[in-house]
Amino acid sequence: MSSDSTRAPKRVLVIGSGQRVREAALPALASLPEAFELAEIRSRKPKTIESGGREHEVLPLEGLDQATLDGFDLIYLVVKKPAVPLVLRQLGALNLARVDLLIETPVLLTKHLGHRKLLRPFRNVWVSEDCSTLPWIDVAFAAAERAGWGSLQRALLDRSGYAYHGVALLRTLFAGQRLTGAGRKPDASGLRRRTYRYSGGGVGEVLEPRDYGVGALDLEFAGGRITDRPEPGDALQLAPIVEGDACVGFRAGDLEGHLSPAEAALMGTPKGSSGVWAWMDGAKRVGFHRLLAAIADGRGAYSVDDALDDALIDYHLERLGRYRPNPLTSAGGSLSGPLYGLLTRVAGR
C-alpha cells in the first residue's frame, strides 16, 4: 500500500446489508483503517446489523441525497442480483462523477446487460472479484518461477471452482492468455467437467459441483507441478502455514509467503478440508482486503469488462454447454450491446 500517511481515508458508502457485507466487506474495510472509513451503510429498509462484534445502523437508501453523496469517495454495491438495475437507476438520479463504484459479481444478470449504461456516470467502476487476489496464488507462481518451470500449461480445479468465480480464477492463473473456447459435459467420474482453452496453449479444467470439503487444485507448468492434495507425489505441495489455530500464510514446497498481521486476522478458522480450500472463507476476505488495498494505491480492482465476460461465459456453458468468444457473445463485443439491449427490453427489465 501507499506510504503516504497524510492522505485522508476514502469515505465509503456500503449499499446492502446481507451476509457478504457482514462477513467479508465490513471486516476487510476495518482491516485498512488508514485507507478507508466506513461512512454509512444503506439498504432498502432501515435496520441494525452486526459484524465483528460491533453493531452498525443501516439507513434507508431512499433518503440518500446529493449533499450526502458528495461526502463519499467510494460506493460498494452488493444487493440481490435482480435489484441491481433499480438501485443503479436510483443512484443515477444524482451526480456520480466524483464517486467510484465497487460492485459485486456478476455485476448484471444476462437479461439486464442492456442496463450496462447505468455504470457510465461513475468516475471509475471496479468489481469485487476476490478469487482474483487469493493469497496462495502469488506463492504458487513464485515457487514455479524460482524452479524455472516456465509457463502454466494446465490448471485443474477439482470441485474447487464455482461458476463465474471459477472463470475469474482461471483468468487470473492464465494471465496474458486469451480464452479461445470452452465446453461443459459429464465426466467419466460422474461429475461435470468444464474445459477452457487459452491462446497460449493453456487448458483450465473445473470439475463440478463445488465442494470445498474435498476440493483440490493442480497446477501443471512446463517443468513441474504444484498441488494442494495431501499426497502430492512428485509435485510441490501447496499448503497453509498454520501456527496454533491461525493461518499465517501459504507455502509451496519450501517457499513461504506470509500474510500481514491484518490479513492473518481475516483468515478465521478452517472448514472441512485439509488443503487450501479449508481456509477459503478467510482467503476470500484477504482477497477482498487486497482489492481494497489496490484501490487505495490507485491500481483499481477487478475489471468490470472481465467480470461481465466471466458471467457471460458461465451463462453460455450452463445453457448451451459451450462458449466461443465473438462480437455477439463477449460483453465488449461490437454486436453485443445492441443484442443485450434488445433482450433487456424484451424481458421488460
In whole angstroms, what is the distance from residue 180 CA to residue 306 CA? 14
Give the mean model confidence (pLDDT) for residues 47-66: 96
- In the numeric block, the cell 456516470 is attached to 121
The region, left, alpha or beta by phi > 0 then psi within -120 to 50, assigned to residue 300 is left
DSSP 170: H
Alpha helices in the chain (DSSP H): 19-20, 26-30, 66-69, 84-92, 135-147, 163-173, 261-266, 280-296, 304-320, 336-347
In whole angstroms, what is the distance from residue 268 CA to residue 282 CA? 6
Inter-CA distances, 194 with 68, 146, 147, 183, 228, Å: 46, 30, 29, 6, 20
| Percent above pLDDT 70 for the chain | 93
Reported as a pLDDT band with limits 50, 70 and 90, residue 344 is low
pLDDT of 224-238, one tens digit each?
999 999 999 999 999
Q: Does pTM surpass 0.85?
A: yes
Give the mean model confidence (pLDDT) for residues 248-257: 97
Q: Which fold has domain 10-104?
A: Rossmann fold (3.40.50)
Q: What is residue 117's predicted lDDT score, i.e. its pLDDT? A: 93
Same fold: 10-104 with 135-296: no
Q: Which CATH number applies to 135-296?
A: 3.30.360
Q: What is residue 189's predicted lDDT score, i.e. its pLDDT? A: 87
Give the mean model confidence (pLDDT) for residues 179-190: 94
In whole angstroms, what is the distance from residue 130 CA to residue 169 CA? 9
Task: Locate the domains of the chain by residue range.
Answer: 10-104, 135-296
pLDDT of 283-327, one tens digit each?
999 999 999 999 999 999 999 999 999 999 999 999 999 999 988
Reported as a pLDDT band with limits 50, 70 and 90, residue 61 is very high
pLDDT of 147-172, one tens digit each?
999 999 999 999 999 999 999 999 99
In whole angstroms, what is the distance from residue 4 CA to residue 267 CA? 27
pLDDT of 84-134, one tens digit each?
999 999 999 999 999 999 999 999 998 899 899 999 999 999 999 999 999
